[in-house]
Amino acid sequence: KRCASGMEASPGDAAVSWDAAVDESFWRKPSVRAQLNRMRETGRQAMKSAQTDWDRKQLRKYNSEKSMRKRLMLLSHPEVVRSLDLLWQAADSDGSHSLSRSEYLVMHRKILLALDPSIGPKKAYETACDDWIHDSEGKSALDKERFIRCWFELADLWTESIQPDAYVHFLTTTMASLIHVNANKHAQWASDKEVLTGHFDKLESLDDEDREAAGYSQKAQVFASWSEELRK
């Protein structure tokens, strides 16, 4: 199956053929240490908000040191590296090696169009502004390290499994739905209309029950709510 960009999507049940052996030098990298500490803090905050014993049990499993390190090792996975590099190229539209607030807002909109367009443009913009405050950490621009953190946190939110395969699949297929790679092998964002169309094309491939649960019946309303944005 091909996504909106025309790139081949990885099958969801494909095994990742990758040697996950990582030496201690990986864990000494400042960017890796920062991300691991951020994941630990996120896990602590989630535990404080947990309402039931079952929730706490699941969170302990998901946010165990072993689980967090297993997910972080994906920073060395070749498919993940390639996907994040292409997404960075597309997002850094002015080639400044950092993301301005306006570039971040464009990326955020593309992501929501691909994953949850039913939110609508007004709420999408408000959410993007709030997320910018969190992700920029008070800086005027986002560097690549913080950009990668954003994508891993997104994968945490949208991936139910803690298995590395699930993270690789999410990152690669989401990337494929968001970008085009031109003849010079440079990544550019797909248009908003292409991304939104790709979202519903993906839902159309589901069986009837899953398609309905995913909101396929709202297709006309969703396109109508985004109509002004799609004309830009």
**How confident is the model at residue 162, as a pLDDT?**
67
Under 8 Å between Cβ of 4 and 194: yes
Residue type, 125: Y
Under 8 Å between Cβ of 99 and 142: yes
**How confident is the model at residue 208, as a pLDDT?**
86
* pLDDT score of 13 more than 80: no
- pLDDT tens per residue, range 201-232: 999 888 888 888 888 899 999 999 999 988 87
- CA dist 121 → 87, 126, 129, 178, 223 (Å): 22, 9, 12, 17, 11
* pLDDT score of 129 more than 90: yes
> φ and ψ at 154, to 5 degrees?
-65, -45
- CA dist 107 → 82, 102, 149, 189, 190 (Å): 17, 9, 14, 8, 11
Under 8 Å between Cβ of 113 and 197: no
Q: What is the band of 63 on the pLDDT scale with cuts at 50, 70, 90?
A: confident
* pLDDT score of 18 more than 90: no
Under 8 Å between Cβ of 116 and 203: no
Give the Cα-Cα-Cα angle 216, 177, 197 (nearest 5 degrees).
Answer: 40
Q: What is the band of 58 on the pLDDT scale with cuts at 50, 70, 90?
A: confident
Distance CA 219, CA 123 (A): 18
Total number of residues shown for the chain:
232
**How confident is the model at residue 100, as a pLDDT?**
97
Under 8 Å between Cβ of 146 and 91: no
Distance CA 83, CA 172 (A): 6
* pLDDT score of 9 more than 50: no
Q: What is the band of 20 on the pLDDT scale with cuts at 50, 70, 90?
A: very low
**How confident is the model at residue 231, as a pLDDT?**
83
- pLDDT tens per residue, range 75-111: 778 888 899 999 999 999 999 999 999 999 999 999 9
**How confident is the model at residue 67, as a pLDDT?**
81
* pLDDT score of 11 more than 50: no
